Structure 1
């Protein structure tokens, strides 16, 4: 839903601790004038504005003050400053003074905005951090150029091509590693166990980050983790659930689902709506409210619950923000899922990107969003139904979560035949057991699911 105002394009709605860009086009109803909107901070009728309306007059005294400051800086600052630098700095200052999420988007930020939405960019495919002034490889992403070239977790990158990374910021190093697909960068690496530095040439490629991961946990319990909400996340979530069902086959039904939204910073509003819609038969998912007419939107579920009522537990924590909170709030208010973990981040505002030209834009907070019951989570967050803090699981506590009946190849009750769990190999069981044994919140989520299954 991109709207035109003069020569500027308006892109509504961004939701995340980081930010994303996507026009919404999913089951949204623009609230007509006079339509009933939940009362949570609803604006007065005469306060509504339209995007592209005539600009409000600026007091002459304020313009004079700005012009005087501009002139004095130009004349007396220790070094010459060009006009564009001062104007851009003034614009950044105007936006940064509003709230933490409004910003002036210059070319690099505008490009990053689009990359974070699509989940695709030209690069090497590694997650990195800083250690002792060098770039440390946290992990190479599966099936990416870095992994295929032999880059390993724990490697220290000391040079990019012939340039030392010492003194670079992490952002500068990441920018240097990104580039046009097909171009090559030479990494000089220090690796434990090697006598000297290694040189690895890596050809950049378009990196597609998969935001949805799935796994069977045994006993008919499925696990889906969403790391962030990208443009394709809604469809990928539906596919993940379908594949879990298919993996179980006809002999065993999916008895419960763990949806893990921990440390998910948010992302695209439409993706959050699609994930919620997939689990709801009907009802309101979320609504937004602000001063401009186009900020008054309601998102309703369409008929069809992909799980057909199978119990769901959603895991959240303080790193779950924005779009993650929309999903948790929608499922909680519609009584579709049990929310387990700790309070979420509390970002309940919506940003709109106003494109100024091909390379610049404004990211401006234009609305708050509300859960179906009318709650604003801004600065409060979603409170879980079951409070479970993250705990360090000791070896004694990490006893096997699986019962005998959950194990591959378990004996049936009569003892005369060998039962077969067609969904999980012994390797799958081992991987699931290891993950569960290290994650106390996940273990508690499985226990809750089993209780719900028994009650059902």
Structure 2
């Protein structure tokens, strides 16, 4: 695991951005550590127990025998590199972990580019659904071509440019969806409640991923509103602090903090953001790694939070967003309103291999501040408010935001 703790979920997440951004790992989706591609495989090998020479020889011999059999006997000719990539993918897929993957050099390069502040694509965060096994939209980026075309959280993408992508890996599917600015991609979607597939033709564009937006919702009641889109950039916590300071200067006496559709980001940033609301020294999140004692990352807060707080969550809140929500709920720093979160409680680390390819492996799990595992489960809000019409967070008629305003007016702390 990267000591810098670079990122939870878009994969969270794994994030794979397709430009699309994939959670979590937005990884680093959706937790999904968003790793930076400066790890060489030698660093990984140093930490892996080595098999004995005899076992290694047998493994190599078996691989060679299978490859020779395919190349000499299979009904059609197969390129050796196709077999090599298949073997590498299969090795990682054998883990049975949907967040671990092998990338070809081209895929890894595209994947890393997806973590840049700007990229070319349709601008939606996607993940392979644990329930359906389908490539599913976790959240569209505000103002992106995907959002403007009408893609929604929960949409399952089943075809890209007429090609069936059911059963494809996240990385393969994302590679089909992404592309240069100005080009078009045709997407077919299964949507809950719709009997027929929905078809979208979307023009790819340059996507600039915003960090946050904020404003005073009700100056008379002193209600401030801060919408955080992701935790994936260094300095996110500083921007949140500056926004809150500005809202206080405008007379804020109550805060609604919105992490709906937020697929995650950097671990150190969410710990700093949570430290605004969690008492200094108290746990924000617990990290569980193989062969190591469980450890807590604690609040660095220096001043107690002194205002009523509501945190808005939904099924697009993943990874780092769930760490924040869990910390607020477990420490009773505020009230969670909305719908159950995505449910990503694992950490991914990425390595760039010598030939430019790469691997993404789950290297840790995390527990909330109260030591609760949410992987595949999610976090339940204190007050459940559905959004049946899928109104985008903060847009007119947003029922969850309206419920938060009503509730926070009655809160004393």
Fold conserved (TM > 0.5)?
Answer: yes
With over 3 angstroms needed to count, the CA separation of the structure-2 counterparts of 1:139 and 1:235, relative to structure 1, is closer
What is the aligned partner in structure 2 of residue 420 from structure 1? none
- Determine the C-alpha separation between the residues in 1 that align with 2:355 and 2:268: 24
Deviation at 1:376, TM superposition (A): 1.0
SS of the counterpart of 1:278? coil
Number of residue pairs matched?
Answer: 328
Corresponding residue for residue 300 of structure 1: 298
1:227 matched residue in structure 2: 229
Alignment of 1:449 with 2:411, yes or no, is: no
Cα offsets for 1:380-419 (capped at 9, x unmatched): 111211222224599xxxxxxxxxxxxxxxxxxxxxxxxx
CA distance in 2, matches of 1:140, 1:447: 25
Alpha carbons of structure 1 residues 101 and 66: separation in structure 2 relative to 1, 3 Å: same
The structure 2 residue matched to 1:278, chosen from 276, 279, 285, is 276
Question: Deviations for 1:262-301, whole angstroms, at most 9, x for unmatched residues?
Answer: 22222222222222123323111111112144x8543111
Moved more, 229-238 or 283-292: 229-238
Contact 1:139 1:153 in 2 (8 A): no
CA distance in 1, matches of 2:99, 2:395: 36
Asked if the contact 1:102–1:365 (Cα under 8 Å) also holds between the matched residues in 2, the reply is: yes
- Residue pair 2:108, 2:357 contacting (<8 A) in 1 also: yes
Alignment of 1:135-214 (within 5 A): 141=143, 171-172=175-176, 174-177=178-181, 208-214=208-214
1:259/1:364 Cα in 2 relative to 1: closer, same or farther (>3 Å)? same
Q: 1:104 aligns with which of 91, 102, 105?
A: 102
Q: Are the structure 2 counterparts of residues 335 and 186 from structure 1 closer, same or farther at C-alpha, using a change threshold of 3 Å? A: closer
2:397 corresponds to 1:438: yes
Alignment of 1:37-116 (within 5 A): 52-57=47-52, 58=55, 63-98=60-95, 99-116=97-114
Structure 1 residues 52 and 186 mapped into 2: Cα distance closer, same or farther (>3 Å)? Answer: closer
Does the CA-based 8 Å contact 2:272-2:300 persist in structure 1? no
- Which ranges in structure 2 are unaligned for 5 or more consecutive residues? 14-22, 29-33, 37-43, 126-139, 151-159, 164-172, 185-203
Partner of 1:309: 306
Would you say the 8 A contact 1:126–1:140 is kept in 2? no
Within the alignment, does 1:238 sit opposite 2:241 as a pair?
Answer: yes
CA change 1:284–1:128 in 2 (3 A) is closer
For 1:381, the equivalent position in structure 2 comes to 378
In 2, the alpha carbon distance for the partners of 1:77 and 1:139 equals 46
Contact kept in structure 2, 1:343 and 1:384, CA below 8 Å: yes
**Is the counterpart of residue 264 in structure 1 residue 266 in structure 2?**
no
Distance in structure 2 (CA, Å) of the matches to 1:59 and 1:170 = 34
Q: Which structure has the greater CA radius of gyration?
A: 1
- How far the C-alpha of 1:324 sits from its partner, in A, is 1.1
d(CA) in 2 for partners of 1:119, 1:225? 18
Aligned residue for 2:347?
Answer: 350
1:327 pairs, out of 324, 338, 349, with 324
* 3-state SS of paired residue (2:307): coil
In 2, Cα distance between equivalents of 1:379 and 1:127: 25
Contact 2:106 2:357 in 1 (8 A): no
Structure 2 residue aligned with 1:215 = 215
Distance 1:114 1:279, change over 3 A: farther
- d(CA) in 2 for partners of 1:139 and 1:341? 19
CA distance in 2, matches of 1:140, 1:275: 21
Q: CA deviation at 1:328?
A: 0.4
Report the Cα distance in structure 1 between the residues aligned to 2:410 and 2:142, rounded to whole angstroms: 39
Q: Distance in 2 between matches of 1:22 and 1:65?
A: 33
Q: TM-score, normalised by structure 1?
A: 0.62
Contact 1:392 1:440 in 2 (8 A): no
- For 1:358 and 1:73, the matched residues in 2 are separated by 24
User: Cα gap change, 1:351/1:171 in structure 2, threshold over 3 Å: closer, same or farther?
Assistant: closer
The aligned residue for residue 363 of structure 2 is: 366
User: Residues 385 and 400 of structure 2 are in contact (CA less than 8 Å); yes or no, is this contact kept in structure 1?
Assistant: yes
The verdict on how the C-alpha distance between 1:173 and 1:325 changes in structure 2, with shifts beyond 3 A counting, is: closer
Whole-angstrom CA distance in 2 between matches of 1:52 and 1:127: 36
